[in-house]
Amino acid sequence: MAPASDVPTIWLGIRAGCHSASLQSGKRIASVPDHRQPRIFLLVSRKRELKPEDELDAGIAMLTRLFKEPSVLSDMQKFGVWVDDSGSEDSKTKDEDPEHCRLGDEDLDEDSIKGEGSRAQSDIGGEEDFDEDLDEEGCGDEGDGDRPKKRGPKKRKMTVARIERSKVRRQKANARERTRMHDLNSALDNLRKVVPCYSKTQKLSKIETLRLAKNYIWALSEILRNGKRPDVVSYVQTLCKGLSQPTTNLVAGCLQLNSRNFLTEQCHEGVRFHAPTPSFSIHSYPYQCSRLSSTHCQPGSNPHSVRNHSFCSAYETYNEGTSPDYNSAEYESRNSPPVCVNGNFGVRQQEPLSPDEERGYHYSMHYTNLPSARSSAAHALAFGPPGSRGAMHSQNPPAFPDAYMHHDRDPAYDELNAFYHK
DNA sequence: TAGGCCATCTGGTCCT
DNA sequence: AGGACCAGATGGCCTA
């Protein structure tokens, strides 16, 4: 059987016997007559001359099919792959030993494919170049005793099947990476739900979530360490350290804090966090508010003029001059506080939770507007009775209607609660 | 339009 | 070899 004369070919530079050794069908791609003897030629298109560069993918795909599905041999024949059961002497002697001439994934060389393709039709019958390729593939090491072996690590060439496997491996790795990132994002979502501020519509960014969580842990640890209630201003300021202005505003909205009280209080009294260690004093807020100047904090300034700006200048007015940068590595790498307690001093939840959210809060408790002994106790716990200094006010509309504070039902909170009721 | 945030892809490294 | 992890690159989306 001979290929149709109008069939152009792509020369793949692969010894036929090598392929036949792996063909489970038992058929042998070999015995291409005369000068084509040692090679197979794969045909992709019958009607036009192939440009190997253009059609290489098609050829690779077909060869891949061939390796995996011997049944496509008939298709290969149809498209010009020479299939012959008789085989040549060369093939008989070298190719019937699968161990000697392993075929398969490793043996089809992309480089040789391209190289052979580029010189297709031009060096038909040339043996030397082809044998070199075979040697590198470990498939034609017969009769090379005279040739010096190449030194250095044997470079494994990219074969067709190896390319395919690499693609598959890459796709699997991508899928794993996606899954991993989704898991990470899920964990971040869970973290968003347990930090003091949560909004469905204005989700904290990843970095802000982490910063707020760190501040939150720190603030609670300080509370435990000192055994004192912080004033609300200090508490909020601690929470907002290093946060961006939008996040600070969001926290303000969550806390339902009267910005007038907040601002005037800090302007008049300064801001202190009741911590025994100087390292926890309030420092300058790294994010400057361009819209709110410090004059807004002057006594007698119109409080309503700053309401919409929430806390953006909260820290601006308390600059100790030698403030650390809370975004700096020093601050970020500060040692963890000695105690980590999950709980907060939230007082309000605007909307009932959906079932999904409830599942997300499986161990959390959310304070609502409904009077409850516990929420009242929690409110008093954190900031004292209504009307006292530092108490939170709720007469202001929240900046983020769906944002709310929440409270974990973590046992640690009960400990904290008990501690405060000693 | 610039900048922030994010998802995804990708290659490198380390470990099993 | 393959999986986990990481960081850089890239492009999309959104907002000021």
Residue A155, pLDDT > 80, answer no
- Map residue A191 onto helix, strand or coil: helix
Q: Kindly report, residue by residue over A330-366, the tens digit of the pLDDT.
A: 444 444 443 333 333 333 333 333 333 333 333 232 3
The answer to whether residue A386 sits within a structural domain is: no
Whose C1' is closest to the CA of A167: which nucleotide? Answer: B10
- Strand C contact at CB of residue A389, distance < 7 A: no
CB A104 within 8 A of CB A162: no
In this prediction, residue A371 carries a pLDDT of 30
Q: Residue A260 CA to nucleotide B6 C1', Å?
A: 36
Range with the largest mean pLDDT of A35-44, A77-86, A176-185, A199-208:
A176-185
Domain range enclosing A244: 164-255
The answer to whether residue A200 sits within a structural domain is: yes
Q: Which residues touch strand B (CB under 7 A)?
A: A 170-171, 173-175, 177-178, 181-182, 185, 203, 205-208, 244
- CA distance linking residue A70 with residue A316, whole number of Å: 76
If we measure between CA atoms, which residue out of A253, A252, A249 comes closest to residue A235? A252
- CA distance linking residue A196 with residue A398, whole number of Å: 15
CB A115 within 8 A of CB A13: yes
- Strand C contact at CB of residue A177, distance < 7 A: yes
Residue A209, pLDDT > 80, answer yes
CB A407 within 8 A of CB A413: yes
The answer to whether residue A265 sits within a structural domain is: no
Q: Residue A205 CA to nucleotide B2 C1', Å?
A: 19
Q: Kindly report, residue by residue over A294-315, the tens digit of the pLDDT.
A: 323 333 333 333 333 333 333 3
- Cross-strand partners of A15: A39
The answer to whether residue A145 sits within a structural domain is: no
CB A17 within 8 A of CB A28: yes
Q: Residue A188 CA to nucleotide C11 C1', Å?
A: 24
Instruction: State the Cα angle at A296 between A292 and A302, rounded to 5°.
Output: 120
Range with the largest mean pLDDT of A105-109, A162-166, A384-388:
A162-166
The answer to whether residue A205 sits within a structural domain is: yes
Q: Which residue has the tokens 């024949």?
A: A77
In SS3 terms, A54-72 reads as HHHHHHHHHHHHHHHCHHH
Whose C1' is closest to the CA of A209: which nucleotide? Answer: B5
Q: Where are the alpha helices (DSSP H) in A47-155?
A: 52-68, 73-78, 89-95, 110-118, 128-136
The answer to whether residue A422 sits within a structural domain is: no
Whose C1' is closest to the CA of A169: which nucleotide? Answer: C2
The answer to whether residue A344 sits within a structural domain is: no
- Strand C contact at CB of residue A78, distance < 7 A: no
Number of domains in chain A: 1
The answer to whether residue A96 sits within a structural domain is: no
